[in-house]
């Protein structure tokens, strides 16, 4: 069969119309429908959108040539599929294709049959069919007990919340029907749980609020008095007893501290200086003869001559038989000391054994003895 292909302004032997639609955006080969504002792409996604009037076979900026029916041989309009293939309107705007819409609500609308692949097709004029799920339509209330088989309804058929007290027989729910954790505080009335319902050991710290246990809740063998402490007494009721606290050790006196008496006492801070191993006075004297800070129990430093200083205590020793220790900040420096009386002493500094006394070095001094 010899075919003569017609140019883009005609459609073979198709019935065509040319219309003016300024600034349209319609595409060659696409099926179109008529709307209140003019021609638009037709689609198979709904019945109104599938009311096809023809196929575009030529376009300019402001005009459309539409084939209304018959034979179409325009380049770009016929898909390259086997002759005899039925072409359907598509769900999205586009060329006709062999794929038939299949989802519920879509339109199955055959539009043409290919006679020569990629060259010729014959338009068919048929209304489309709205697709459905194929489910039967059952009138409300038409399914009665007489029409239902035994055991034909299970939990999948119940609407959420549809089983209420009206639809439940008496004594139809026992513990087997409760879901784990479903009985919460919303479903328990006040004062419905007593000690019989608690599992052994279930009341632990996690389930007790702060300050929920006081003296009344403890098993104590006696009433107790203010100032007493709770003592472990395994032979008493509850193993707990209020008992008076011991007074603790007594304070040591100066005589016991100085004698280092072996007794259960404590040394208070104000008597600590009476211990034999504690310095009763200490200080650091500069090369210029001034008292540096800090110091302890030193009343004054008197510079009585080159390398000669008199140190006076705040609190005197009990006698002049106290011990003096001296150190310098220079290796080789010698410090001499002499006790004047129980309340003071004199010290001398000398750079080395061959030089006279001088004021060149610091002196660190500590005194030990009885006060």
Among positive and negative, which fits the CA dihedral 264, 269, 273, 279?
positive
Q: Which helix (H) or strand (E) holds 250?
A: strand 250-251
Rg (CA), the chain: 58
What pairs with residue 251 in β-bridges? 266
Percent of the chain with pLDDT over 90: 39
Q: Identify which of 119, 94, 120, 122 has the alpha carbon closest to the alpha carbon of residue 110.
A: 122
> What tens digit of pLDDT does each residue of 226-282 get?
888 888 988 888 889 998 887 778 888 888 877 888 888 878 887 777 788 889 999
Say how many C-beta atoms besides its own lie within 10 A of residue 252's C-beta.
21
Residue-level pLDDT at 12: 57
Question: CATH top-level class for 281-368?
Answer: mainly beta
77 neighbors 55 (Cβ within 8 angstroms): yes
Alpha-carbon dihedral 20, 22, 25, 26, rounded to 10 degrees: -10
Q: How confident is the model at residue 10 (pLDDT cuts 50, 70, 90)?
A: very low
Q: How confident is the model at residue 11 (pLDDT cuts 50, 70, 90)?
A: very low
Given a cut of 50, whether residue 150 has pLDDT beyond it is yes
Classify residue 122 as exposed, middle or buried by CB count within 10 Å of its CB (0-12, 13-18, 19+): middle
Q: Which one is predicted more confidently, 121 or 126?
A: 121
Q: How far apart are CA 89 and CA 82, in angstroms?
A: 18
57 neighbors 26 (Cβ within 8 angstroms): no
Residue-level pLDDT at 3: 32
Look over the chain and give the mean of its residue pLDDT values, rounded to a whole number: 85
Q: How far apart are CA 70 and CA 111, in angstroms?
A: 11
Q: Strands 52-59 and 129-130, how do they pair?
A: unpaired
Q: Residues spanned by CATH 2.60.40 within the chain?
A: 281-368
ω into 110 cis (within 30 of 0): no
Q: How confident is the model at residue 87 (pLDDT cuts 50, 70, 90)?
A: very high
- Dihedrals φ, ψ of 173, to 5°? -120, 125
Residue that has been written with the tokens 């100066």 in this structure: 254
Q: Residues spanned by CATH 2.40.300 within the chain?
A: 15-130
Correct CATH for 15-130 of 1.10.3470, 2.40.128, 3.40.50, 2.40.300: 2.40.300
């Amino acid at each position: 069969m010899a075919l003569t292909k017609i140019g883009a302004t005609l459609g073979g032997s198709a019935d065509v119309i040319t219309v003016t639609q300024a600034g349209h955006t319609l595409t060659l080969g696409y099926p179109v429908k008529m709307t209140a504002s003019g021609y638009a792409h037709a689609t198979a996604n709904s019945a109104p959108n599938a009311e096809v009037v023809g196929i575009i076979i030529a376009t300019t900026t402001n005009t459309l040539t539409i084939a209304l029916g018959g034979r179409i041989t325009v380049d770009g309009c016929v898909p390259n599929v086997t002759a005899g293939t039925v072409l359907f309107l598509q769900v999205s705007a586009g060329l006709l294709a062999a794929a038939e819409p299949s989802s519920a609500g879509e339109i199955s609308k055959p539009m043409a049959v290919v006679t020569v692949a990629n060259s010729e097709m014959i338009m068919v004029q048929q209304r489309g069919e709205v697709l459905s799920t194929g489910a039967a339509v059952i009138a409300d209330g038409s399914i009665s007990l007489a029409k239902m088989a035994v055991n034909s309804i299970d939990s999948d058929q119940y609407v959420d919340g549809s089983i209420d007290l009206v639809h439940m027989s008496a004594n139809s729910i026992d513990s087997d029907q409760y879901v784990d954790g479903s009985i919460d505080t919303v479903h328990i009335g006040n004062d419905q749980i007593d000690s019989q319902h608690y599992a052994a050991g279930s009341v632990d710290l996690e389930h007790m609020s702060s300050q929920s246990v006081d003296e009344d809740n403890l098993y104590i063998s006696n009433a107790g008095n203010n100032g007493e402490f709770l003592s472990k007494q395994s032979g008493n009721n509850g193993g707990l007893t209020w008992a008076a606290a011991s007074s603790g050790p007594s304070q040591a006196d100066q005589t016991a501290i100085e004698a280092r008496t072996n007794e259960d006492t404590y040394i208070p801070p104000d008597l600590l200086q009476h211990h034999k191993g504690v310095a009763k006075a200490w200080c650091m004297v500069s090369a210029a003869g001034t008292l540096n800070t800090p110091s302890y129990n030193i009343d004054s430093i008197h510079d009585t001559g080159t390398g000669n200083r008199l140190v006076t205590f705040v609190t005197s020793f009990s006698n002049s038989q106290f011990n003096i220790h001296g150190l310098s900040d220079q290796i080789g420096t010698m410090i001499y000391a002499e006790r004047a009386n129980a309340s003071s002493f004199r010290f001398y500094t000398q750079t080395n054994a061959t030089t006279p006394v001088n004021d060149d070095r610091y002196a660190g001094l500590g005194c030990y003895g009885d006060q």
